[in-house]
């Protein structure tokens, strides 16, 4: 599965001013320390390639949701520091992403220099895909590279508008890898193809269930969303997460899948808690015996066994969404056990979504996966088979 878009390896970057839209939207703690720098690391091959080619490398990104306001909390300054360490070379930081100061910093750049611009979303025009703002960004460089897979599902100035004003635009290595990995499993999976879906809500994953439902051999549903399916089967689910307006959809999609020979797996037991308090009593029950007033928080050991057996003969596995409230130790067993089961299967395994990637990391199984996506919403949108504006805006391979 090859990306049909123009890619960085076909572009002459030598001595050019190259603006790279990266996704440096990393999590920061209260002291503005980066708690996970995998998104920065994921862009290094593209940045290093541009540096090695002697380009003047101008990086731009958003961080968080500053809503068009300048705010220290969302500054990319900590990212500049970390990037400097990872690249082992100086990274100049600009205190804005457009304007005279930026123009003059760009003017001072030598081949191989790296400049990181301040958060694009300090300007409301970024998310409005504003023409003038797009043009100002474009004026900084001669070549545009989109490396921000995580924002490829958005029509913003730095992902879409800018391409109108650039003569040369292309996808970076990460963008290429992400699209090829995700599209590859959806469009061309080696069978049996198993999709494991979890997370909080059915409504957030409807599109994925519908799109994948047509292509998979088995669907495994866990996490909070499983309780809507379990209730739709007629079981009492206590105070577990449920979306009443999704009950018919849940019933319909399950029946439809089964009528086409798709194996549909739901939990057979779960870990329930008497309340949401951390000290609450917990126990394991079958899904037919969830006590009134209790909360379903994780899949139980029998479900882990069932799901593990279901993935054992898979040749392709796509996993999106945790099996329970894995952020709390008491309810992380199901998700961590699934990470081991997926890792042990002799399959091409693709993991989508930040939560699932974190769970796989906690299980120590990151290296066992074929591909872990850096994009949450973008990965979902691609798995839904929907249009990706950031990708569509790039020219096709000649
Ligand atoms: P999503 O963003 O839809 O993939 O959902 C991820 C979130 O789902 C995580 O924060 C989990 O804590 C949450 N989650 C998973 N299982 C459950 C459950 N049984 N009840 C409530 N929340 C859950």
147-177 tens-digit pLDDT: 999 999 999 999 999 999 999 999 999 999 9
251 given a catalytic annotation: no
Nearest protein Cα to ligand 1, atom 20? 224
Contact 175, 147 (CB under 8 A): yes
Alpha-carbon dihedral sign for residues 209, 212, 214, 220: negative
Average pLDDT over residues 211-226: 94
352 given a catalytic annotation: no
Distance 200 CA to ligand 1 centre (A): 4
Structure tokens at 203: 């409504």
Please state which CATH number belongs to domain 189-383: 3.40.50.1260
Which residue of 205, 296, 325, 334 sits with most ligand 1 atoms within 8 Å of its CB, as the best mutation to test the pocket? 325
Element holding 342 (H helix, E strand): helix 333-344
Long-range contacts of 129-134 (CB under 8 A, 24+ apart): 129/155, 129/156, 129/157, 129/160, 129/161, 130/157, 130/161, 131/161, 131/164, 133/98, 133/157, 133/161, 134/158, 134/160, 134/161, 134/162, 134/164, 134/165
17 given a catalytic annotation: no
| Tens-place pLDDT, residues 47-105 | 999 999 999 999 999 999 999 999 999 999 999 999 999 999 999 999 999 999 999 99
* Ligand 1 atom showing the smallest separation from residue 321 Cα: 4
**DSSP assignment letter at 299:** E
Ligand 1 site: residues with CB under 6 angstroms? 199-201, 204, 223-224, 241, 296-297, 321-322, 324-325, 327, 353, 355
Average pLDDT over residues 322-343: 97
Rounded Cα gap, residues 276 and 367, in angstroms:
34
What is the per-residue DSSP string for 5-18?
Answer: B-BGGGS--TT-EE
Using the predicted structure, report yes or no on whether residue 3 has a pLDDT greater than 90.
no
pLDDT for residue 374: 87
Distance 104 CA to ligand 1 centre (A): 47
**Mean pLDDT of the residues in the chain:** 95
Domain 8-175: homologous superfamily in CATH = Phosphoglycerate kinase, N-terminal domain (3.40.50.1260)
At 353, the pLDDT band (50, 70, 90 cuts) reads confident
Which residues make Cβ contacts (< 8 Å) with residue 163, sequence separation at least 6? 144, 146, 169, 393, 394
Return the number of other C-beta atoms located less than 10 Å from residue 385's C-beta. Answer: 16
Name the one residue in this structure whose structure tokens are 């100061």: 101
39 given a catalytic annotation: yes
* Ligand 1 atom showing the smallest separation from residue 296 Cα: 19
pLDDT for residue 1: 61
Distance 222 CA to ligand 1 centre (A): 9
* Ligand 1 atom showing the smallest separation from residue 201 Cα: 3
Nearest protein Cα to ligand 1, atom 6? 199
Distance 221 CA to ligand 1 centre (A): 12
| Tens-place pLDDT, residues 379-391 | 999 999 898 999 9
pTM of this structure: 0.91
* Ligand 1 atom showing the smallest separation from residue 270 Cα: 19
Contact 355, 380 (CB under 8 A): no
Rounded Cα gap, residues 235 and 240, in angstroms:
12
pLDDT for residue 111: 98
C-alpha distances (whole Å) from 230 to each of 251, 284, 295 are: 9, 16, 13
Rounded Cα gap, residues 255 and 174, in angstroms:
38
Domain with CATH 3.40.50.1260 in the chain: 8-175, 189-383
| Tens-place pLDDT, residues 243-295 | 999 999 999 999 999 899 999 999 999 999 999 999 999 999 999 999 999 99
pLDDT for residue 214: 84
């Amino acid at each position: 599965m090859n990306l049909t878009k123009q890619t960085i390896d076909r572009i002459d970057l030598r001595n050019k001013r190259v603006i790279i839209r990266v996704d440096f939207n990393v999590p920061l703690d209260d002291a503005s320390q980066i708690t996970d720098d995998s998104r920065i690391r994921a862009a290094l091959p593209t940045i290093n390639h541009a540096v090695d080619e002697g380009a003047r490398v101008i990086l731009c990104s958003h961080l968080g949701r500053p809503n068009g306001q300048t705010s220290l909390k969302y500054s990319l300054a900590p990212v500049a520091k970390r990037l400097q360490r990872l690249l082992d070379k100086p990274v100049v930081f600009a205190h804005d992403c457009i304007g005279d100061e930026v123009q003059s910093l760009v003017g001072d750049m030598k081949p191989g220099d790296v400049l990181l611009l301040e958060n694009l979303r300090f300007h409301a025009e970024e998310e409005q895909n504003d023409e003038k703002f797009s043009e100002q960004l474009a004026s900084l460089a001669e070549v545009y590279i989109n490396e921000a897979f995580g924002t490829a599902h958005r029509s913003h100035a730095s992902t879409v508008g800018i391409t109108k004003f650039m003569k040369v635009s292309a996808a970076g290595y990460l963008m290429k890898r992400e699209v090829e990995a995700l599209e590859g499993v959806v469009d061309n999976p080696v069978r049996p193809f198993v999709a494991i879906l979890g997370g909080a809500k059915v409504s957030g994953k409807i599109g994925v269930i519908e799109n994948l439902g047509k292509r998979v051999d088995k669907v495994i549903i866990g996490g909070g969303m499983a309780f809507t399916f379990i209730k739709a089967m007629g079981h009492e689910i206590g105070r577990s997460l449920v979306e009443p307006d999704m009950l018919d959809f849940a019933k319909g999609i399950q029946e439809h899948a089964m009528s086409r020979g798709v194996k549909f797996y739901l939990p057979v037991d779960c870990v329930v808690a008497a309340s949401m308090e951390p000290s609450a009593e917990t126990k394991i029950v079958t899904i037919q015996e969830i006590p009134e007033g209790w909360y379903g928080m994780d899949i139980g050991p029998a479900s882990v066994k069932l799901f593990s057996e279901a993935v054992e003969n898979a040749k392709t596995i796509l996993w999106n969404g945790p099996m329970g409230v894995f952020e709390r130790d008491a309810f992380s067993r199901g998700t961590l056990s699934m990470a081991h089961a997926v890792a042990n299967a002799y399959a091409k395994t693709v993991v989508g979504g930040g939560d699932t990637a974190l769970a796989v990391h906690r299980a120590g199984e990151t290296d066992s996966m074929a591909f872990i996506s850096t994009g949450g919403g973008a990965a979902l949108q691609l798995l839904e088979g929907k249009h990706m504006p950031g990708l569509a805006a790039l020219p096709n391979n000649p």
